[in-house]
Each structure stands twice: as C-alpha cells, then as structure tokens.
Structure 1
Amino acid sequence: MKRLFILSIGIVILLGSCKKDPLDITPDGRMSLEDVFKSSDLTPAYLNSCYAWVRKYGHGYHYYTFLSSFTDDATDSQVPTDSWHQLQSWYNDAFSASNMPFMAGSATQLYNDMDLYARNWMGIRKTNVFINNVTEQNIPDPTTRARLLAEAKTLRAHYYWDLIKMFGPMPIIDKDLVGEQDFSSIKRNSFDECTQFIVKDCDEAIATASFPLRAENEPDRGRMTKAVAYAVKSMATLFNASPLWNPDNNAGKWKAAADASKEAVDALSSNGYALYPDYEKYFLTRPDKAAAPGDKETILEATDSYGYGTQTYRAFGSITYLMHMIPTFPSEKPGCAPTQELVDAYEMKDGTIPILGYNDADHSRPIINPASGYDDQNPYVNRDPRFYASIWYNGAYFGVVNGAQIYIESFVGGAHGISGIKQRSPTGYYLRKYVDPAMRNNGTSKTLFRIYRLGELYLNLAEAENEANGPTTIAYNAVNTVRARAKMPDLPAGLSKEEFRERIRRERRVETAIEEDRYYDSRRWGSDYFVNVSKIKTGMRWVKATDGSLSNTRIVVVKPKMAIPKYLLMPIPLGETIRMPGMTQNPGW
C-alpha cells in the first residue's frame, strides 16, 4: 500500500498540509484502504469522506468576496484600499500560472477556498477510489450498493463540472493514480469528451431506482441526489453548446442541451420541485429537509463550513452580515458593491427595457428607451421587483433598527455616502440579497448559499430551446415561469430568435444577480461578449444640494486590465504543466 498521499493528477499533496482523512490511511499500525474496503461499515463511511472537497461558493473567495465582484455585476469596497486583495490583482492583470487567482492569502485562511484546481482533483480521486472498490462483499445489499454508487458518480460529475467550467477541458481520469510514476501519457480531453463523461455519470445515477430525488433528512444536507444529477447534466450540456465551446454552432449540441434541461425540469416539477413563491425571502432562508419541504426550489446548497469547527460566526449568513452590510452597522466592510451596469440591466416593472446601451465607452451617457418611462435622475422608480430584493440604492427604505427608521443615504456625505474607502461603497450601491435582516438586531442567520436551484434550470431550458428550435412555446413557458415568480409580465410574443437570445441573457443576469452564473455566463457566450462587458465598472454618484434636492452623475469606478481573452479560463498551475508535458496551458497564460 502507498504512504499517506492524495494525488491531484501530477501534484502529490501530503495530507499533513491538508485536512486529514482518517479513512485514507496506509500501513502505519492502524488501517489501510484495503482494510477500509473489507468492511461493510467503513466502505459507506469512505463515501462520506469524499464530500470533504466540495468547495464553499458564495463569498468563499479571498477575502470573503463574492465571485460576482470579479464580473461586471459588482466590485468590492475593499478595493483599492487594500492592495493585497485578490480583486486588486485581478483588475491589474497581475496573475500567472505560478500566482493563481482565487487562492487564499495564507494557509491559515482555510475558511476561504484555497486551491480550486487541486481540491476538485482531490474530490475526483476520492470518488474514483470509492467507485472502483465497491463490491458485493463490502456492500452486500444490491439496492444499497446501487444507491451509493449513484451518489458517488453524481459527486464525481459535480467535481468534474466544477473543474472544467473554470479551467477548461481536463484529462478524463476514472481510476486512482496514486503510485503512478509516469504522467507523460496524460493529456487533456476535449470539452465535449469531458461533457459526455459527466453526462454518462449523471445518466447512470438518474437511472438508479434507489437513488433519491431529494435529501429529506437533516443529516443528509449537502448530499448528492438524483436532482443534482439532473442539474449537473443540464449545466454541462448547456456550456458544451455555448459559443466558447461550440464555435461552429453545432445544432446537435444545442438539441442535447435543450433535451437535458427539459428532462430535468419535467422530472423535478412533476415530483414536488417548484419555485419558491417569494424571490427576496428565498435567499434569506435555510432549505428545510423534509419529504414535502417549504423550500421546493433548492437542489443543492453549500454547507456552513466557512470556518474551523468552533467558529460558528464564520457561517455563511453571519459572514455575509460582517462583510457585506451597510456602514450603519459594526461590520468589517460593506463588501459587495453592485455596479450601475447591473442596475441598468433590470427592466421596468411593465417589462420594458429602460437602458438600451451606452453612447460612450465610459457608460456616462446611457441610451434611454423613450417608451419605458425611465428617468435617469429618478432611476429607481417602477423597476423589476428583483431589483428591490437584491440592491440597496440611495433613498431606499432599509427598515427599523433599534427603534429608528433607516433610509439608505449613499449620496456624498450621507450616512452611507459613496467613497473610495473600505467602509463605503465605491459604486453608490450596497448588497441586499443574502443579507439576513435577522442580523440587524443581534439576531442569528441560518441562510445558506444555493449551488443549484430549479429557477436556473428553467432558464437553461429557455436558452437552449431557443438556440435549438427558436423561441418556441417551450422556451417562452420556461422563462415566463421564472418571471411570474418575480411578478414580472411575460416576455413579448413574436420575438425573433436573436431578440429572444438577448432577453434570456438579460433575464439570467437579473434572476441570478450576485450568484455565480454571471462569471461563467459572460465567458461561455464567447470571447467578444466577455471582453466587451469586462472593460468597465461604473456607479452612481449622488450629490445633495443645500435645499435638499438630489442630482446624480454616472462615474467610472474601475477599468479592469483583465478584459482580455486569456481570462476566459483560469491558468493551469505551473507545476502541472511541468510534470506533464501533455497538460497544455490555457491560452495566454
């Protein structure tokens, strides 16, 4: 048996520098993997250990930053005050294959995701070990054995999906490589081949009768289910069909994506899944675990593992309050600051588009749709309800705190005034989504970040169906279901394929604002789209006159230097490409 190692393809990482796994032990007087898989008790327990590498998502990016801050949807108030912040390096294009993005600043900051590349490979390796070692001897009951294998395959598909959407196609590895000495034959597969590998795992899991559709008990929170398999398949096929990975616009890929998403939506909606009735409250809740839960939308949520075992204050809801709350409260920073570009993406409440584009590169002169009734000096009136649920803006009613009524004052000199310091928003906007009101009066928050949810699958279906067959009834019904939950009118009938594409992209942006979709959507829609939307982030500067009147000016907050094609994908770690000549580096890195 091998000594105490975990392999991330070519990188051998001593467990002493990572989270120790008591079920991955070799002859040291205690137990070996061979011993584990001789036991009908320890074999299922090994599958539990395979979950250790599921990452945190949400604001798990150093330093407690939402991934949306690395897109045109938001920035972080900590920049430019703290030059060490990763977002500052991002804006300055200061990363390389030896200085990777999204790496925590030190080994002590384990409450942030560390190495997004290695941790997914460690998860893949662990699931491979389990899948390759389950037998009739260690799991005698065939129903249980089938269920556990389906769970492991779904988990492996999740790890692979999480890896390739950020780093691009990877080698397909379905066995444990510990002990291998020669990695020269390992090469990257195509994105399509990786997608088919993921689809195969998901299809096998979905076909397993004993594999549950949802987790119904609290101890099973965060576990893989058949619904997760449907979601991963939907996402992977959608990306495989998108312009970044389908430059020739292969219609067959779009059909596969449409079919996978329809299969997912039909299966889930006919078995108790449904959109949560209140958009705002949905992101302030903790999914309940029951056969008939109150939250019927969540497919998989991240757990509260944002800190060490005793650091409950580092749970997602608590840290959201500490790192993303308006300056009225004793938080470290207001953190996530939505941009004017995101605000402009929200429709009017009657469904008309207020901002059609910009007349200049600095986005200071918006192209206003005269039919919308939008007024740039009174911009927050009659907007999509999801705008009010997601963003705090100047003049918004915050609520009663300790007996006092609070309104957002993001005007210059106001209580929440726009500024370039860490404790104020640089854009004039603050985050409302995810920030639990229960925390305002010394309460507690149980809020969890959603990794997969039904609303996203409806939008996957609308987009893929439109690309495969045009704006059919299926496409319209899917997107209008999402809009109805937000109390928005149906999309106009008679849209062309191109018009529907533009509307569904806008819909995805506002429906999933501050979630992680924008980061990946802006890339999968192709290099031209990504570069164009990444060039600038702006805000709204309000000034209060002596007579109390307010006026505003659109301002440039940052012009990122990373608005270049190489940022479509993150770099492969330098050590990997050195150890494995066939592991080609991503373009530009």
Structure 2
Amino acid sequence: MNSIIKGLGLVLSCILAASCSEISFGDKFLGNQPESSGATTEEMFSSKINAEKVLTKAYTGLPYGLPTSADFKLGENILESLTDLCYSFRDNISDGPVKLYYNGSLSANNVPRNSAYRYGNKSDWTAIRYAWLYIKNVEKVPDMSANEKSERIAEAKVVIALCYFEMLRYVGGVTWLDHYIDVNEPMNFPRLTFAETVSKIVGLLDEAIGANLAWKASSADDGRMTKAGAMALKFKVLQWAASPTFNSDTKWHPEADEYTCYGNYSAQRWADAAEAGAAFFAEVDRQKEYQLIQPTEETHRARRLAYRQAYYNRGGTEILISTRQGYSSDIHGSFISQRYYSGPTLNYVNMFPWEDGSDFPANFDWKSPSKQPFFTKGEMVPTRDPRLYENVACPGDTYCNGTTAPVYLNHADYKNGSGFLIMKHILQEANDRSAPVQWSHTRLAEIMLGYAEVLNEINGRPTDEAYRMVNEVRQRVGLSELPTKMNHDQFLEAVLRERALELGFEEVRWFDLVRRNRQNDFKKKLYGLRSRGNDLNHPTEFTFEKVELEDHYWATNWDTKWYLAPIPQDEINKNYGMTQNPGW
C-alpha cells in the first residue's frame, strides 16, 4: 500500500501527528502549488480562509487532459494519439504512444510515468487525501455557517467521485478509501468489484446532489464543483457502467472478472443511466442557467467561435466541470511546443461533413476533386463543418502564431507527419490564447450526445428526444438535421461520430471506443494527406495525395487487454489488496 499512501501524500503519518510541511498554503484559489510553510491540523482548520486552502489542494489533484509540466502522462502527449483520431510522430525515448503502445511494449513490469495511466502514482490520490482531510475536519472551523460547511463537504465528495471515476475508466474496480486514513489502521485495502466501485461513486454523488450544493458557480467561485456537475458526472458514470464492454453476457476479455465488468447483461443499467440523464435535463430546464453557446450571427466564422467559446472559455453556460492547473496559457506551453509531433489522421478529418451537414464522401477523389475539401480556390472560403477547423489545422488555415499552417509539402517550415496538426487549444493566433485556461472535463454538449445514445439503447431506436439532442448540437455550427427513420445501429454510429466531431481532443474518443467495445476502430488502417500549395507562404489552392500511415502493433496484434491499464506489478506485490487486470 506504500505507493498508494505516497499518492495520498508522502507525509500521511506526519499529518496525523498534526504537523507537516507537505500540508501548506498558497495564496490563490486554484492557483500555484502551495508554498512550503508548515501547518498543524488545528491551524489548517482554525479559519475559513485556511480551510479553503486545504480544499483547494484537493482541486489541484483533479485530472487534466492536456500535457503539463505537472503530469508526464504519455510523455506529454495526448490520449487521442492512441485512437483513430490522431497519430504520434515524436519518436523519442519519452513518447508514450510510440514507445509503449505502437510497439506493444507496455507491460505490468514496465508501467512508467509516460504511460496513459499508472495506478498508484497519480494525483488522484492527492485529491482524495485532501478531500477526506477536509471532510473530517471542516466542522472545527469557527467562522463558517452550517450551510457553508454542507456545501463545501458536498464539493469535496464530488472531487473524490471524479477521481474514482477516472480510476474506474482506466483500471476498473479499485482500492477504495472512504475516510481519512489513520496511520495506525491496518494496511488492508482490498480491491472492490466493478459493480461495487460504480455503486460507491454514485453514492458519493447522490450525497452531494442531495446536499446544499450550488447549481451553478458564481463568477467568483467559477471552477468549484456544482450540483449541475455532480448530476452530469453521475450520468457519465452510469453510461460507462451500462455500456457493452462492461454490461454484457459475453466477457470483453477471456480473463475478465468481477473487478473489470459485471459479468452479465442488465437492461436496468441503461435505464438507470436514462433516469440520471432525464433528471439532469429536467433540472437544466427548471434552472435555466445552462444552454449551448450560440453564434452571434449565421456565418462560418461566428459558428466556429461559438464552438471555441464552448470548450475554451471559463465560465459560460456550457462548462459543467472545469479542472485547472493554473491561470496563464503558459500552463499549455509544453503542449504547444510539441505541436509538430502529433497529427490528426485523415480518418478523423473525413468524419467531418460539408458545411451544410451532408456527409463527406468516403470515396472522395483526392487527385481530381470536383469540390475543394477545405477551402474554395482563390477565395479560400471554408467548405466544411466549422468544428473541423477548430480541431484540425488544415492546409490553408492560419495556425498558432498567425501564419499559414505548415502542413503542406512546400511550406518553408513543413514537418513530416499526417499532413494535419492539432488546432484545439493551440488556436490560430497568440492573442487567441490570452484568456485564462482550463480543461473542460465535462460540458453540456457531451451530456446531450450521451443522453441521446442512452435513449437509443433503452428504446431500441432513436426517440424524438434523442434526435433533438443531437440536432441541437449540429445546429449550433450550422449543420442540417440527421436523417429521420434511422434504426438503432445507424443512430448509434451517427452519435459516436458526432461525439468525435464535437468533443475531439477532449479525451472522449478513447473512452467511447473502450466502453463500446470498438475493436475494429483500434485495428483500422490509418491515413494521412500530402498537400502541395501553389505558393510558399499564402497558397490559394492545393493538390492532394492520400497516403497510408505506418502500421502499429495493434493493427495485427490487437488484444482487448488494452481497454484497461495494467496494474504495476510492484504495486500488487505490496499485498494490500490490488489485483492485476485481464491479459496483463
């Protein structure tokens, strides 16, 4: 259990001895890492302002989807590089996708920091530690009202639930700490089953939802957990649990056990997710504070900017859970500096429809196109879904520093890759990145599309409400409605594609492929695009060539064991109760 305890804090024993330099205070809510100053437990909870700093420390351990200096996940690469949306070309010793996944070398004896998830060594445990510390001691604070304490305890419970959901998605059932650990307790923390873990997470969220928790944070408290966030997270947990990989009579792996799935199918699990979704949207309708951000005018540019505001800007009417590792755009500096080494695939680009919403043809003639795939010749008017350009730097678009994206062969700064670059969070101009940054962990569009999927499952076909949810997301960016009279499978494919388009590079695709058991998407051939412009710096038309990207290990050696991360063997050897995942 030692590394878990270290994850919970290197100084658990001295905390309980009431003095420790690890527990220390910073000056700003969700600001920088607290400075080393030392404090006893009594001092920590001697006032509201001090207690707030303990809860703040819990918030700083929440998962963050972009590479930062605080987390070496995937060697500062992104999770989408393990999916069909993106491909890594950064073949250096620290690159997680290339060195651990594309060659299949990840193993239980080799789970380094640059893996996608290393159980026992993640900041989740830091967040859980400080949240339970807060819950245990906040009643001591003299200058907080009972209502304030109730609300902050509910916040802390959502923080804990979010961290455990992160573990559930990466490893299945986990060791569960449901109180503040005393150093004199036996180090016996058996792994919970998948079902027990889901139930515990939902239980925490139900407690938070039923408490005195604000529906939406005020501008002064933006970033705190809210009732809306808790209800949305509950839906996501139940959607995950109901999905076919874990909710099936057929095991997702020959060695799958009660720790990694239910072991049977129950329609009630989909019904539970539907009930949570219905409750969330009923409260949204009643409270009137959350809605999709709409364009200021019916132009391509305005639609693109509305979509940007939905995921990039703090606050607003769409972000349900926002995690932070700081204020300045410098927090994303390592992601931006590595921008040339991971590229969206042509597979992903081809998912985006034309600007009117009609599908981009699967048999598009790249050598002699009858219609330009990205911009019209000469005038350079966009031809596709506005979200394409906000997710992907396409040939002809402005990128990062106000210059033309270096994705075509005759660009002076061209870097070999997929022929595309990631646009989301990097954006077009330095001034675009002047706003305070965040990770939009959960936003309204994701819950709308997820609820549409769930309604399709429990009814065996898409309902009017399911269509409405998807169509509203599409209409925000000017696309036509989905065709009517789809069957279950057709609508499911449409929803999963819409989730990829709307939520690209927001750490949704990997989890969608895992929970829906989409083995073929992990094994598929991936493609890139070679483009050549008619001008070095300001091309107004291009020629194209579709090319195959290099096959990786999964193309011919796929194993569903990759759905869940291996538990480091040295963690299991400590004998506190964790077990290995299937296939590892």
TM-score bin, normalised by smaller chain:
0.7 to 0.9
Match of 2:573 among 565, 578, 588: 578
User: What does 1:210-359 correspond to in 2, within 5 Å?
Assistant: 210-218=212-220, 220-248=221-249, 249-269=265-285, 270-278=287-295, 280-281=304-305, 282-283=307-308, 287-289=313-315, 295-305=316-326, 314-316=330-332, 318-324=333-339, 334-355=340-361
Q: Identify the residue that residue 522 of structure 2 maps to in structure 1.
A: 533
Q: Could you say if the C-alpha distance between residues 173 and 321 of structure 1 is closer, same or farther in structure 2, counting changes exceeding 3 Å?
A: closer
Task: Give the conservation status (yes or no) of the 8 Å contact 1:439–1:445.
Answer: no
- CA positional deviation for 1:522: 0.9
The answer to whether 1:164 aligns with 2:179 is no
* Letter of the structure 1 residue corresponding to residue 455 of structure 2: E
CA distance in 1, matches of 2:87, 2:400: 27
Match of 2:108 among 97, 116, 134: 97
The answer to whether 1:414 aligns with 2:386 is no
SS at match of 1:163: helix
CA distance in 1, matches of 2:266, 2:9: 40
Q: Could you say if the C-alpha distance between residues 133 and 173 of structure 1 is closer, same or farther in structure 2, counting changes exceeding 3 Å?
A: same
CA distance in 1, matches of 2:21, 2:277: 36
Deviation beyond 6 Å, 4+ runs, structure 1: 112-116, 399-402
CA distance in 2, matches of 1:169, 1:536: 32
SS at match of 1:588: coil
Q: Could you say if the C-alpha distance between residues 576 and 117 of structure 1 is closer, same or farther in structure 2, counting changes exceeding 3 Å?
A: same
Match of 1:550 among 530, 543, 550: 543
Q: Identify the residue that residue 155 of structure 1 maps to in structure 2.
A: 159
Identity %: 25
Match of 2:448 among 432, 453, 458: 458
The answer to whether 1:432 aligns with 2:423 is yes
* Letter of the structure 2 residue corresponding to residue 414 of structure 1: H
- CA positional deviation for 1:577: 0.9
CA distance in 1, matches of 2:225, 2:478: 32
Q: Identify the residue that residue 30 of structure 2 maps to in structure 1.
A: none
User: What does 1:387-536 correspond to in 2, within 5 Å?
Assistant: 387-394=388-395, 396-398=396-398, 407-408=404-405, 410-415=407-412, 417=414, 424-439=415-430, 444-469=434-459, 470-526=461-517, 529-530=518-519, 532-536=521-525
Q: Identify the residue that residue 23 of structure 2 maps to in structure 1.
A: 21
Q: Identify the residue that residue 145 of structure 2 maps to in structure 1.
A: 141
* Letter of the structure 2 residue corresponding to residue 587 of structure 1: P
- CA positional deviation for 1:221: 3.5
CA distance in 1, matches of 2:515, 2:477: 26
User: What does 1:363-378 correspond to in 2, within 5 Å?
Assistant: 367-368=362-363, 375=369, 378=372
- CA positional deviation for 1:43: 4.0
| Structure 2 portions without partners, runs of 5+ | 13-19, 27-36, 250-264, 296-302, 376-382, 536-540
Q: Could you say if the C-alpha distance between residues 286 and 380 of structure 1 is closer, same or farther in structure 2, counting changes exceeding 3 Å?
A: closer
Task: Give the conservation status (yes or no) of the 8 Å contact 2:128–2:160.
Answer: yes
Q: Could you say if the C-alpha distance between residues 440 and 273 of structure 1 is closer, same or farther in structure 2, counting changes exceeding 3 Å?
A: closer
Q: Could you say if the C-alpha distance between residues 31 and 391 of structure 1 is closer, same or farther in structure 2, counting changes exceeding 3 Å?
A: closer
- CA positional deviation for 1:214: 1.9
The answer to whether 1:70 aligns with 2:82 is yes
Task: Give the conservation status (yes or no) of the 8 Å contact 1:336–1:431.
Answer: yes
Task: Give the conservation status (yes or no) of the 8 Å contact 1:531–1:565.
Answer: no
1:563-583 residue CA offsets vs partner (Å, 9 max, x unmatched):
421210112232321112631
The answer to whether 1:128 aligns with 2:132 is yes
* Letter of the structure 2 residue corresponding to residue 348 of structure 1: W
- CA positional deviation for 1:495: 0.7
CA distance in 1, matches of 2:436, 2:7: 37
Q: Identify the residue that residue 203 of structure 1 maps to in structure 2.
A: 206
User: What does 1:176-191 correspond to in 2, within 5 Å?
Assistant: 176-180=180-184, 182-184=186-188, 186-191=189-194
SS at match of 2:192: coil
CA distance in 2, matches of 1:47, 1:392: 39
- CA positional deviation for 1:176: 2.4
Q: Identify the residue that residue 362 of structure 1 maps to in structure 2.
A: none
How large is the Cα RMSD of the aligned pairs?
Answer: 3.6
SS at match of 1:433: coil
User: What does 1:28-107 correspond to in 2, within 5 Å?
Assistant: 31-33=39-41, 36-37=44-45, 42-60=50-68, 61-77=73-89, 79-80=90-91, 82-89=92-99, 90-100=101-111, 102-103=113-114
Task: Give the conservation status (yes or no) of the 8 Å contact 1:392–1:408.
Answer: yes
- CA positional deviation for 1:500: 0.8
CA distance in 2, matches of 1:490, 1:116: 45
User: After the TM superposition, which of the residue ranges 227-236 and 573-582 deviates more from structure 2?
Assistant: 573-582
CA distance in 1, matches of 2:501, 2:266: 28
Q: Identify the residue that residue 17 of structure 2 maps to in structure 1.
A: none
Task: Give the conservation status (yes or no) of the 8 Å contact 2:393–2:399.
Answer: no
CA distance in 2, matches of 1:8, 1:54: 16
1:16-70 residue CA offsets vs partner (Å, 9 max, x unmatched):
9x9932279xxxx975436645766644443233223123322343543222122
* Letter of the structure 2 residue corresponding to residue 434 of structure 1: H
CA distance in 1, matches of 2:405, 2:122: 42
| Structure 1 portions without partners, runs of 5+ | 105-111, 290-294, 307-311, 325-333, 356-366, 418-423
1:251-296 residue CA offsets vs partner (Å, 9 max, x unmatched):
111111112122223323543111122453243675355xxxxx21
TM-score (normalised: structure 2) = 0.79
Q: Could you say if the C-alpha distance between residues 191 and 10 of structure 1 is closer, same or farther in structure 2, counting changes exceeding 3 Å?
A: farther
Match of 1:118 among 107, 117, 122: 122
- CA positional deviation for 1:492: 0.9
- CA positional deviation for 1:445: 4.9
Task: Give the conservation status (yes or no) of the 8 Å contact 1:183–1:579.
Answer: no
Q: Identify the residue that residue 196 of structure 2 maps to in structure 1.
A: 193
SS at match of 2:292: coil
Q: Could you say if the C-alpha distance between residues 97 and 180 of structure 1 is closer, same or farther in structure 2, counting changes exceeding 3 Å?
A: farther
SS at match of 2:108: coil
Task: Give the conservation status (yes or no) of the 8 Å contact 2:322–2:441.
Answer: yes
